Amino acid sequence: MQRLYFLTPNAVSTVSIAHELNDLCIPKEHIHIVCKNQVLLDKLDLNKASVRQTSDLVQASKRGMLYGAIIGAIAGIVATVFLPVDQPFSIGLTIVALTAFGVLFGIWASTLIGVSVQDVKVKKYQDDINKGSLLMLVDISPEREREVTSLIKLHHPEARIETVSLSEQRRGEGVGA
């Protein structure tokens, strides 16, 4: 999935774009809104962006899993060297157990941090959101990006549209979940 970011100046424009996206067969579940006024979103029947979409939660958990596995495996190897483990089965079990613990601990610890770190793309628009603009996060297939962006640019020149660049994807920025 490709994430598109539409910064709209007001709720009327946002609702209009949401309807056009629905007409393009983009389901409502793929459209999420970041807005200062949460009551407004409830009245407009728009999907509020969750913590998963607006924070570094998913990418942080992936990093935590990787680093936790590496540290857990190293701890398992060190433990088998210094602890009196004679049997090959016990050595393997110790390494696997500490790697699994490292993975779980890494995911847990990093998600605690990731939930408090705002996604860089959302953070980029935070000043506009605080001033009353709305940010739409739209998940579509990469093949439809050109079609969707051209139509929205044609009908809504007031909307600023941005995608996640290739370098941002490599760094895990702006991809949300």
Residue range 23-45: average pLDDT?
A: 85
pLDDT of residue 64: 96
- The Cα-based distances of 170 to 24, 150, 155, 166, 173 in angstroms read 29, 25, 32, 6, 8
Q: Does the residue 90 lie in any domain?
A: yes
**Closest to 164 (Cα-Cα) out of 147, 142, 144:** 142
Q: Does the residue 29 lie in any domain?
A: no
pLDDT tens per residue, range 39-64: 777 788 788 888 888 888 888 999 99
Q: Does the residue 65 lie in any domain?
A: yes
Q: Does the residue 41 lie in any domain?
A: no
| Cα 175 to Cα 54: distance, rounded to the nearest angstrom | 10
Q: Does the residue 73 lie in any domain?
A: yes
Q: Does the residue 152 lie in any domain?
A: no
Q: Does the residue 125 lie in any domain?
A: no
- Do 2 and 145 form a contact (C-beta atoms < 8 A)? yes
Residue 78 token pair: 């060190």
Q: Report if pTM > 0.75.
A: no
Report how many domains make up the chain.
1
Give the domain range for residue 100.
57-114
pLDDT of residue 108: 96
Residue 47 token pair: 């999907």
| Cα 110 to Cα 56: distance, rounded to the nearest angstrom | 10
Q: Does the residue 24 lie in any domain?
A: no
pLDDT tens per residue, range 128-154: 998 989 999 988 888 888 888 888 888
